[in-house]
């Protein structure tokens, strides 16, 4: 296979995240010849910074049809439920055992997004299609000799397609070039669409000095802690093999997250260990605090592998299907809709 773009194709998928990869795989299973399908992404392999980590049962069932689910399950952690607590105890705990009679996947699979992408991309390659990188879409116009839409890339190359699938995220170039509006369905501005207390979030992948007697504390699911300061999230990223592949760490790496009210100002773009530790002490259960005054066995963040901030918002494309320049544009995933990541439904719903 070659990384060179063809001059024309029946279908082009723009975006090789979980949404675009799953779409390409499903098209082949639906009878599209691999030679009539092209998929591109604007970043080099492994450079995607999106960090979804939950795959729910219905999504695994869909992926199982394409021989992907078992490969993902081998790498992830089977989250048996959700825990909601305060700083001292568990308030509510929900188990996924109740859905066992209805699915072969009675759990939420906890697996970092780049690993999911790797598995899906490997499956797509087995089916005869290779992602072409890095190709950034910069324009769309009427096709000249080929009936359809001509896509222009930053490299100067072009490709004509009958169908353009925009799976290129919340800032979708395909959506913008197609002239499709993207806004809160209630007509609210970004500032008004989300409560000020939870409008900003910080996420980080960290190593933690967890005592042996607490090593399994959060190993079986997703933990949320509520306090006067807000919410705190703690989730293991996957089995140690995933931590090793992602960050070269032999220990389990954890995803932590917490809200930052607008009144406290904007969080750093790449929060430091000190910033994360201070907020963990503020938001997390006492058993995860580094403060010996509240925790006789202090737990400390020992390394920050990755950290970021983002703003919560909701938005919906006015249409998901539009005829543009002689071709048809279809929007999928975050290019079509975005919402709060609470519940871990963003990647699952996109797939």
pLDDT digits over 150-207, tens only? 999 999 999 999 999 999 999 999 999 999 999 887 776 555 666 667 678 899 999 9
In the predicted model, is pLDDT for residue 252 greater than 80?
A: no
What architecture (CATH level 2) is domain 8-51+113-184+315-350?
3-Layer(bba) Sandwich (3.50)
Domain boundaries, the chain: 8-51+113-184+315-350, 196-311
Is-same-fold flag (8-51+113-184+315-350; 196-311)? no
In the predicted model, is pLDDT for residue 240 greater than 90?
A: no
Cross-strand bridge partners of residue 13: 39, 165
Q: Which two tokens stand for residue 167?
A: 């799976």
Tell me what pLDDT residue 313 has: 77
Min mean pLDDT across 100-104, 231-235, 329-333 is at 231-235
By CB atoms closer than 10 A (0-12, 13-18, 19+), residue 218 is buried
The arithmetic mean of pLDDT across residues 81-89, rounded, is 88
Within a 10 A sphere around the Cβ of 68, how many other Cβ atoms? Answer: 22
Averaged pLDDT of the chain: 87
Tell me what pLDDT residue 104 has: 95
Q: How far is CA 197 from the centre of its chain?
A: 23
Give the whole-angstrom CA distance, residue 287 versus residue 294: 8
Give the whole-angstrom CA distance, residue 109 versus residue 221: 9
Give the whole-angstrom CA distance, residue 275 versus residue 260: 12
The arithmetic mean of pLDDT across residues 263-292, rounded, is 92
Q: Which CATH class is domain 196-311?
A: alpha beta
Within a 10 A sphere around the Cβ of 181, how many other Cβ atoms? Answer: 11
Backbone phi, psi, residue 281, to 5° = -60, -35
Q: Are the beta carbons of 248 and 108 closer than 8 angstroms?
A: no
Give the whole-angstrom CA distance, residue 210 versus residue 301: 9
Q: Tens digits of per-residue pLDDT, 24-74?
A: 999 999 999 999 999 999 988 765 555 778 899 999 999 999 999 999 999
């Amino acid at each position: 296979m070659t990384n060179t773009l063809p001059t024309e194709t029946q279908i082009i998928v723009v975006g090789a995240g979980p949404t675009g990869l799953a779409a390409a795989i499903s098209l082949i299973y639906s009878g599209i010849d691999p030679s009539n399908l092209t998929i591109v992404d604007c970043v080099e392999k492994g450079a995607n910074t999106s960090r979804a980590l939950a795959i729910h049962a219905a999504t695994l069932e869909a992926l199982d049809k394409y021989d992907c689910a078992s490969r993902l399950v081998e790498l992830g952690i089977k989250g048996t439920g959700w825990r909601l607590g305060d700083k001292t105890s568990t308030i509510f705990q929900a188990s996924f055992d109740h859905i066992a009679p209805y699915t072969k996947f009675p759990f939420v699979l906890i697996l970092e997004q780049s690993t999911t992408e790797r598995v899906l991309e490997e499956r797509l390659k087995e089916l005869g299609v290779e992602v072409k990188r890095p190709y950034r879409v910069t324009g769309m116009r009427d096709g000249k000799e080929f009936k359809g839409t001509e896509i222009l890339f930053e490299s100067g190359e072009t490709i004509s397609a009958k169908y353009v699938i925009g799976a290129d995220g919340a800032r979708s170039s395909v959506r913008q070039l197609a002239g499709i509006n993207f806004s809160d369905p209630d007509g609210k501005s970004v500032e008004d669409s989300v409560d000020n207390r939870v409008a900003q979030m910080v996420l980080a992948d960290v190593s933690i000095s967890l005592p042996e007697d607490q090593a399994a504390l959060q190993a079986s699911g997703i933990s949320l802690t509520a306090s006067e300061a807000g919410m705190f999230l703690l989730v293991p990223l996957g089995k140690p093999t995933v931590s090793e592949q992602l960050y070269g760490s032999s220990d389990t790496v954890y995803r932590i997250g917490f809200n930052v009210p607008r009144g406290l100002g904007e969080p750093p773009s790449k929060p430091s260990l000190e910033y994360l530790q201070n907020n963990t002490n503020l938001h997390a259960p006492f058993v995860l605090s580094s403060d010996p005054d509240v925790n006789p066995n202090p737990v400390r963040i020992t390394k920050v592998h990755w950290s970021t901030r983002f703003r919560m918002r909701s938005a919906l494309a006015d249409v998901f299907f539009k005829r543009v320049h002689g071709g048809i544009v279809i929007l999928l995933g975050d290019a079509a809709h975005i919402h709060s990541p609470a519940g871990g439904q963003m990647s699952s719903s996109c797939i």
